[in-house]
Structures are given as C-alpha cells and as structure tokens.
A = this chain, B = another copy of it.
C-alpha cells in the first residue's frame, strides 16, 4: 500500500484525486491539506465523498507532510508548488506536481510567462508527465510535472502527425473549448453560474494563455523543429471536458490511408486513447468522468487541411486521472490501476 498525500485537497483537482484514489487498490490517502478548511473532513467540503473518504483536511508543514505519506500529489497553484516540492524530494518522497511549475524545461520561458522560479534546478530533472510520450522516463522519475489540460488534448491529437512529418508545423491552429471546472474552485464573478450558463466565449485570445509555451515546447520536440501555433481557449457552459479542434496543412504525400496507419501504430496499445472511425467525432460527454482521450480526424482535400479533434475530461485525463496514471508508472503498477471508470453518460 502506498501512503499518499494530497496537497491542496479542497480544489476540484484535489477532490478528484480523492474520488479516484479511494477506489485505488494499492493506495491509502494518509494526508490531505487545505489552509482554508483545516480541521474539516474533506467529505464535508465535497459531500459527494461522504462514506467513501474519511480524511480530515489539515494545514501541514513540509516536515509534517513527510511524516504522513510517501507519495504526494501537489494540487496547488503555480508558485506555491515550486516552494514546496524541493522539501518533499529532499525527504526522499516522490511527487506528481499538478501545477505549471515544472512543465517548462527552459527557465527563461517559464519566467517570461509566470514569475521568477525559485527551484529551477529541478526543471531538467522533472519529467513531463504525458505517459503516451514519456512512459519510460516517468517510470524512473521521482518528480513528474503533470501536463496542463489544454496541452494534453492538443499534444495527443498531433503527436503521430508531427513525429512523421505529416503536417506543415507552422500552419497549426488549435481552437480549444473547456468546461468551467478548469477555472478552479475560486469564488470570482466570472465563474458564477449566471455568468457562464447558457453562454459561450473565447478568452485570452492571441498568444495570451499560459498553456501556449507548454504546448509549443512539446510540439517542437515532436516536430524536431521550432513550432509556433495559434491557440484560442474558449469557456464552455459545462463542468468537465475539453474539446480541441486543430487545423493544419498536410505535408506532401500524406493521404487518409497513411494518416490512419500513423495513428493506429502510435496509439493501438494505449489503454486510454480511443481512436474513432472516419465519421465519428469526439464529444466531451462521452469521456466525462473517465481517463480516456478520444481522437478522430478528417481530411479536406479542397483545402489540403487535416482537422484533428480530441476530447478529454479536463479534471481526469487533463489533471487528476493522468496524475494517478503517472503515479502507477512511478511505482511499477499496472498503468490502468484505479482508472477503470467508465464515462458517465448521460
């Protein structure tokens, strides 16, 4: 049994970790932290967990955390994570960090998009936790940077194409739409029910969203050459789910048949990637609550473009489910352990 601590348990990703881990056969939740809710049972903050999770939220120092658990999910905001993780590692613990603090390998890029980095010495060591790309490195890591939700959906959609040179990398446009849980459990006017319900809007348009450099970093690795994309996030009036619609021009010599082969070879043994047929398109409601990433694509000969679509649950494959998948790899467990949830539809 792994003794696991959830640092930052009172946010949506923290609660989702608890939801998944309470049914995980190899895990015991032995610590859960919340500054705001210290002393309260986590199941009081999230009554959905009643009868399943009985941990009490505490406000714990790093030393206290290290006494309570061997493995940590840090589900705290960026900046907070970078100050916390070194202490955990120094005590010999393993960490999956769900913040942005260890995702970017280049400290200059990090500091351009976020703020000064206090633990940049770990940027090279940290593994980008997308198992479909970095499975082997994750298995041997003590620090895994769990990917952002938008990047997960876009990178998984494009990886087979970029690795094979099947698209013109400079033509990539990613139009992404996310459910409101992505904004976190933060009391702000813009996330109120009445502001979001029955509406739809773009935000942080034109190279303004902090997931941009993360996406470009990984696409650049895949393409073997620097990639710049257009990325537009939108806010959906749903709780969970990201759907990315990605456009790119096909490189010469690639047709539907070749593209099919690329995707099949790349993903046929992946437990959490589901390739749909030619005229079946992903829907967020068909991955809701699960760790699946559904992908399909369509080629338009008239414009020579491929349109790749991918759907994930941003709280699961885009955050807490992927984090558990990473933990499984780091402990040599079957990658799917505790992640058998079937999408909840309707």
Contacts and interface: CB of A to CB of B under 8 A. Distances in A.
Interface residues of A, number: 84
Contacts of A194: 12, 180-181, 185, 191, 239, 346
A23 B51 CA distance: 20
B342 A200 contact: no
A237 B283 contact: no
A237 B196 CA distance: 11
Interface stretch (A42-50, A76-84, A87-95, A327-335): A42-50
B285 A199 contact: yes
Interface stretch (A67-75, A134-142, A241-249): A241-249
A317 interface: no
A337 interface: no
Interface string A36-62: 000000000011111110000000000
A35 interface: no
B198 A197 contact: yes
Interface of A: 12, 15, 19, 22-23, 46-52, 170, 173, 175, 177, 180-181, 185, 187-189, 191-203, 205-207, 228-230, 232, 234, 236-241, 243, 245, 247, 274, 276, 280-290, 292, 294, 298-300, 302-303, 305, 307, 309, 311, 315, 340-346
